[in-house]
Amino acid sequence: MASDLADVATDLPITASERVFTGRIWNVARESVDLGEAGEVTREFVQHTGAVAILALDEADRVVLVNQYRHPVRRMLWELPAGLLDVPGEALVEAARRELAEEADLVAADWHTLGDFYTTPGGSDEFIRIFLARGLSAVPEAERHEREDEELGMQVRRAPLDEVVAGVLAGRIHNPSTGFGVLAAAAARDLDWSTLRAADAPF
């Protein structure tokens, strides 16, 4: 049955663990794990705080996108508003509210969980939750976040959901949160949004 097709958390014995690099945002760990019959293997991976992304959809079925430079790939990427889970104890949906306000100057009245994914499960423990945010309104001018660093002058635009889906499928849009988010939103819309989960659903 389709309902039986699910990833399962598995705690295998870790026989050795050390941090081999400490960075400003994430670290690198080296761990040895006992796979049973397959023996023991050693893997290095990025330890990440996790993140949230927001597919903000307006009343005209347009997606809010931001354009941001990503140095490792040397590209300006069209992305969903997003950010790290770098505030201790902050709920995922509250982090999403904060990021939507900071990056797109928007608040939303209606929040749901759209989807969850691991960005690079072979090399990182980073996970991202994507929220669907609707009922959008602007943050008052006097209360807007002052952007700096790579966010300074960041372009914000709205594009029809179907146009963004077409861009993903044609290979013009490469950010994984954008791709996952718009494809999930288009599928959920086709099912009259019946697949949406609560904003505070467990990951």
Residue 143 annotated as catalytic:
no
What is each CA distance from 7 to 41, 93, 118, in whole angstroms?
Answer: 21, 23, 11
Please state the φ and ψ torsions of residue 73, each to the nearest 5 degrees.
-105, 0
> How far apart, in whole angstroms, are the C-alpha atoms of residue 133 and residue 114?
9
What is each CA distance from 164 to 29, 65, 86, 158, 188, in whole angstroms?
Answer: 36, 10, 29, 10, 15
Catalytic entry in 90, 103, 151, 163:
151
Strands 197-198 and 106-118: antiparallel
Residue numbers annotated as active site: 151
